[in-house]
Amino acid sequence: MSPKNQEDVDIEILEKICQLYDISNQELNFLIAIDHNFVYEFTKNDKEYILRGGTRHAPDQVQAELEWILFLNSSGVNVSIPILSKNEKYLEIIKHDGKNINAVVFERASGKPVEWKNPEKWNELFWEKMGRTLGKMHATSFEYNSLQPEFRRVSAFESVHTTAESHLDSVKDREIIERFNNLKKKLNQLPKDKDAYGLIQYDFHLGNFNVHDDELTVYDFDDSYYFFFIYDIATCIHETVWYYPDDKKLEFVNRFIPSLWKGYSKEYKLDRKWLEYLPDFFKWREFEIYITLVETYNDKTTPEQHMQEVKEYLPDFKARTESDEQIVPIPGDLSKWFKEF
């Protein structure tokens, strides 16, 4: 099952999900269909919810995601939590055409996306809050490492998006495949200490949290993997810098990173030795984005509007994966960005 728009979502599946959560499909508003999942929003008893269904991950991986979200919530991290179905289940599995369709309903994250173009909202104080949120998640992941959850998410090294050969052209992309596999080998040899490696959100950026009364609520843990904590920091920096034109990136990052790190350090103390690997994790992010773009480009069912965006970004990310150039120049003395706290 690989829906790309509302018309691709099987009405029979949708009806079954609605029955399990005591809602009508007439109440659903379609949001997106991507990566073998479909997403709707609805309101019930004056509360807003998000319905996610699909086949992107096996049921045990979805169950592991939900257990992680609930643990974060119980540990005081603001996250969009799943709700129980009529069967008292967080995950419902619908059998359809020989496949397992995973269905989950989440409380919608409170608030709205941050107004990043408004300096009264988007400033050092807010960036520090972003860092504190990320630090809280890593502190909680450190605790989670000592537990034995019934279900366990795979590592990023096992993720399909990190298998370059399965998506890239072995001839045209030969150099990229070789560069990525060398990076993957290097990172996989790093020590996976429990104070620096664990279950992470893996996609922490402006598009995956809402803000209400200056508090962040994180959502979309569909990409959660076991990986290095520094990657979450690298992703947050990389994706935020991406919003700015090239001639403004360095000016912004020189303000952004010290505040992000200040907030992060108030919640979690990551050994500073990991900062030297920041360039590698910036590149890991760019390889993953390029592989995903190629996968989407090769999918003939991709909607035209989305395909145009893919075509726009492909050349840039291809060039980035072929080069050692970083999204911003990285100072030789990282204490300029990452001060001791």
User: DSSP states of 253-313 as a string?
Assistant: HHHHHHHHHHHHHHH----GGGGGGHHHHHHHHHHHHHHHHHHHHH-TTS-HHHHHHHHHH
For residue 159, what pLDDT is reported?
Answer: 87
Tell me the C-alpha distance between 202 and 102, whole Å: 21
For residue 269, what pLDDT is reported?
Answer: 97
CA nearest 284: which of 341, 224, 227? 227
At 194, list the tokens: 């429990």
Q: What's the Rg (C-alpha) of the chain?
A: 20
The answer to whether 24 touches 112, Cβ cutoff 8 Å, is no
Tell me the C-alpha distance between 246 and 303, whole Å: 29
For residue 316, what pLDDT is reported?
Answer: 94
Tell me the C-alpha distance between 170 and 58, whole Å: 28
Tell me the C-alpha distance between 316 and 319, whole Å: 5
For residue 288, what pLDDT is reported?
Answer: 93
Tell me the C-alpha distance between 237 and 270, whole Å: 16
The answer to whether 39 touches 32, Cβ cutoff 8 Å, is yes
Q: Supply the DSSP symbol for 6.
A: G
The answer to whether 291 touches 318, Cβ cutoff 8 Å, is no
The answer to whether 223 touches 68, Cβ cutoff 8 Å, is no
At 129, list the tokens: 């809050």
Residue pointed to by tokens 């991950």: 57
From the candidate CATH numbers 3.30.1050.10, 3.30.200.20, 3.10.20.340, 3.40.1360.10, the one assigned to the domain spanning 6-107: 3.30.200.20
Q: Is the dihedral of CA 78, 80, 81, 86 positive or negative?
A: positive
Fold assignment, 124-336? Aminoglycoside 3'-phosphotransferase; Chain: A, domain 2 (3.90.1200)
| Neighbouring-strand partners of residue 79 | 218
Domain boundaries, the chain: 6-107, 124-336
Model's pTM, two decimal places?
0.94
For residue 210, what pLDDT is reported?
Answer: 98
For residue 8, what pLDDT is reported?
Answer: 60
Tell me the C-alpha distance between 173 and 190, whole Å: 26
pLDDT averaged per 10 residues in sequence order, the chain, 341 residues:
58 93 93 86 96 94 97 98 98 91 97 96 98 98 93 91 84 94 96 97 96 96 97 98 94 97 98 97 96 88 84 95 94 92 76
